[in-house]
Amino acid sequence: MSIQRTSTSFPPLNPQWKYDVFLSFRGNDTRRAFTDHLYTALEHQGIITFRDDPELQKGGAISPELFAAIEESRFALIVLSRNYALSTWCLDEIVRILECMKARETVLPIFYDVDPSDVRKQTGSFREAFANLEERFRNDKEKVRSWRYALTEVASFSGWNSKEWYESKLIKDIVDVIWTKLQPTSCSYAENLVGIHSRLQQLNFLLGVGLDDDVRFIGIWGMGGIGKTTMVRVVYERIAREYEFSFLLTDVRNSVERSGLLNLQKQLLSGIWTKKADISDLHDGATIIRRLLGHKKVLLVLDDVNHSSHLKYLAGNREWFGLGSRVLITTRNEHLLIEHGVERRLKAEELNDDDSLQLFSWKAFKRGYPEEDFLALSKSVINYAKGLPLALEVLGSFLYGRDLSEWKSALKKLGRVCNLEIFDILKTSYNDLDSEEKKIFLDIACFFNGQDKDRVTEVLNSCDVSAIIGIKVLMERSLLTVSHGRLRMHDLLQKMGREIVHRESPNEPSRCSRLWLLEDVKHILSNNSGTEAIEGIFVDSTESEVKVDVNRKSFSMMNKLRYLKINNANLPKGLEYLPNSLLIVDWTRYPFKSLPSHFNPQKLLELRLCHSCIKHFRIGTEPLYNLKTIDLSHSLDLVSTPNFKV
């Protein structure tokens, strides 16, 4: 986790600058008072400032160390006090400062208890100083002339006159001006981010920057890797300077897991409070944060929040902040925002195909479009990623610099094996689910993606889980959507779910809870190697022409089997057993005239035996009160069925 704030953070230094600011002053005048306070404020803001050590000034000429510090500083603050011109050291400094910085317009004078015109014209205390200098350097009039010229030049620059300010406000304004000048341009982070401007249009509207008559909480939610963090970083960089205090707290979830929420409160307070935050519990921390920020215009960004306590103790409510404040929250869980009363919410959506191709190309080819020979393969990656920026960046970086054969090999592998970096980030959302929600997620990922929501809800309810609230939670946590009444899961989330099941027993599919790969199903059914771990078998109908050899006792050990969907099975020795735990039986081309005599599935919801050889249709001896669907279409040998009206 990283924390950035206007009170302690700063933009990265350009490699050519060792210091942000060189502070020039007359030591005897201001070192222990104004200059010390100014230096402390600059450092507290995170502005790297050079202040000379008195030891360096022993001797007549300016030291090489000071010359180097001037050359390596981006800005110069010159504190022009009454006795400034009495020091030839200071005068040499100002000459060198102009030589290095005049053209860049980075020299900022502070007229401390002196009139700017006295500096410009060398009158007042400066007249007396130069009278002495003229006498001392009667043989080096050019040097004196250079000092006069330097003071005249500096006095013409825009700066501050201490006589017009309360000292505390003067120091604050100086720090704010330097901080603003150090900030990168508003588009520097966003300039190479594909599709970012269109994604920010709605967010900019919700933010209402410049409207200072309210306090706004804005929530951005969406699946992992969708670009929420990128969005808030761009916004933070663009508008942070407009606030008295601004904080960017990234990766809140992991920070709290590592160090605790109390430690995060302390870090936040360190950017507000000059004293060390000695708080003993979360309530104390919340009280202090509210007291210190209650009348301040604040920008607070909380990135990757996954628990309501994070919002309760870091952001509280609107009364914690002064008018004009903005609290920006990213999360994978929309319900956290709803629970906290965040009315302005925005779902982060996937990139379109054009933006996806451009983002991928920047990573894979270091330009905005693919090389001609790689265009078709690039489009395959776009189809795989389905608009997820995380996947586009990870795969593009991985494929950069590789040849065509390596690309083809890598893409073939992706069809079988999840990319670990993508998997780990997406799985974080799964880890936050409870056991029932995980069961629902895996069932949908393995069997019900794209199916009718009401039908799947009914099936899952029969599995003794609370499907209605479970599906709602998955939707709130960006793991599932509903479109036209059907459940939709992003392809990479589905792959992640299936990978979780595969990892239950990587080398023995018979010990995995769910099976969907034809080869795994064929191996288990033909070798009678099924176990009670198996809860579902779904072979896709597109593979219906492939014959599956089934042992007559293949299902005898699968006493927890809930779903069975199979096509075109070959059972040369008959079928002895089907588990009574089954909720769904969907067996196209069922090859026998009847179902096993001991098959009595009391929870059965759906029975589909299309194109079957069924002749006498009867199931068990007890009424099947839960049975909702029977489909025996195209079963041409059917002779008798029970009386369904009874």
What is the residue-wise DSSP string for 426-492? Answer: HHHHHHTS-HHHHHHHHHIIIIITTSBHHHHHHHHHTTTS-HHHHHHHHHHTTS-EEETTEEE--HH
Kind of pairing, strands 563-567 and 536-538? parallel
pLDDT at 620: 66
Closest CA to 559 of 507, 610, 598, 597: 598
Contact present, 491 and 384 (Cβ < 8 Å): yes
Chain centre distance of CA 178 = 30
pLDDT at 5: 45
pLDDT at 8: 36
Contact present, 56 and 63 (Cβ < 8 Å): yes
pLDDT at 187: 47
Query: Within a 10 A sphere around the Cβ of 296, how many other Cβ atoms?
Result: 16
pLDDT at 2: 44
pLDDT at 539: 86
pLDDT at 7: 37
pLDDT at 616: 81
Structure tokens at 497: 């779910």
Res. 303: pLDDT tops 80? yes
pLDDT at 200: 84
Res. 617: pLDDT tops 60? yes
Q: Any idea which residues carry the catalytic annotation?
A: 93
Mean pLDDT of 454-473: 95
Mean pLDDT of 335-354: 95
Mean pLDDT of 530-554: 82
pLDDT at 407: 95
Q: What are phi and psi of 563, to 5 degrees?
A: -125, 135
Res. 542: pLDDT tops 90? no
The β-bridge partners of 247 are 5, 300
Sheet holding 49-51, edge to edge: 49-51, 19-25, 73-80, 107-111, 160-161
pLDDT at 103: 84
What's the one-letter identity of residue 460? L
pLDDT at 58: 47
pLDDT at 274: 61
pLDDT at 526: 87
pLDDT at 1: 43
Q: What are phi and psi of 19, to 5 degrees?
A: -125, 150
pLDDT at 9: 39
Does the pTM exceed 0.85? no
Tokens 């009874």 label which residue? Answer: 646
Among the residue ranges 147-151, 358-362, 487-491, 588-592, the one predicted with the least confidence is 588-592
pLDDT at 226: 94
pLDDT at 363: 93
Per-residue model confidence as pLDDT tens digits over 162-199? 999 999 999 999 998 998 888 765 445 555 678 787 77
Per-residue model confidence as pLDDT tens digits over 374-407? 999 999 999 999 999 999 999 999 999 999 999 9
Average pLDDT, rounded, for the chain: 89
pLDDT at 190: 53
Per-residue model confidence as pLDDT tens digits over 81-136? 999 999 998 999 999 999 999 888 899 999 999 999 999 999 999 999 999 999 99
pLDDT at 195: 76
- Higher pLDDT, residue 197 or 148: 148
Percent of the chain with pLDDT over 70: 92
Percent of the chain with pLDDT over 90: 66
pLDDT at 64: 81
What's the one-letter identity of residue 606? E
Q: How many residues are recorded in the chain?
A: 646
Res. 159: pLDDT tops 90? yes
Structure tokens at 629: 């669907």
